[in-house]
Homo-oligomer: A and B are copies of this chain.
Amino acid sequence: MTYTKEMLEAAPARVPLSTADVAAAIDACLTCLQTCTSCANADLAEPEIDELRTCIALCLSCAEVCDVTARFLSRPAHWEPFIVHRLLQACVRSCADSAAECAKHANHHRHCAICEKACRECERACEVLLDDETFEELQKLVGA
């Protein structure tokens, strides 16, 4: 159990998104930051490290993007939709890439199987936010 939703509700500023969805995305990012950090470290101790290079690289990147995305989503005051949108896009892509790579090793390494699950959940939670009309309108405005 986390305090994320309670913290968002207690804040004097709000973002134009569902608080429950933002809280879910933050929690998914923090969970994914943890699994990716652990997965990359576990890979470093596996005998077949040669086949796990991409997994290490993608998990390290994913952990960093999830971290910064969780932080930005946790800050409704002085919220900048363009920046949050770009971070969410980077996060969705990074989670999808890590999940796809972990999937290749999921049968041999339980840490990859769990990490794939966490990455997929984070990918979906961030996509829910990206699908919000707030960002759809932003996309139209900036032509991107």
Q: Does A71 contact B (CB under 8 A)?
A: yes
A interface residue numbers (CB < 8 A to B)? 2-4, 6-8, 10-13, 26, 30-31, 33-35, 37-42, 44-46, 49-50, 53-54, 56-58, 60-61, 63-65, 67-68, 70-72, 74-78, 80, 82-83, 86-87, 89-90, 93-94, 97, 109-111, 114-115, 117-118, 144
Known: A56-B44, A93-B82, A94-B80. A75 touches B37 (CB 8 A): yes
The minimal Cβ–Cβ distance linking A28 to chain B, given in whole angstroms, is: 10
Residues of chain B lying within 8 A (CB to CB) of residue A63: 71
Is A78 a contact partner of B64 (Cβ separation < 8 A)?
Answer: no
Is B74 a contact partner of A83 (Cβ separation < 8 A)?
Answer: no
Residues of chain B lying within 8 A (CB to CB) of residue A82: 89-90, 93
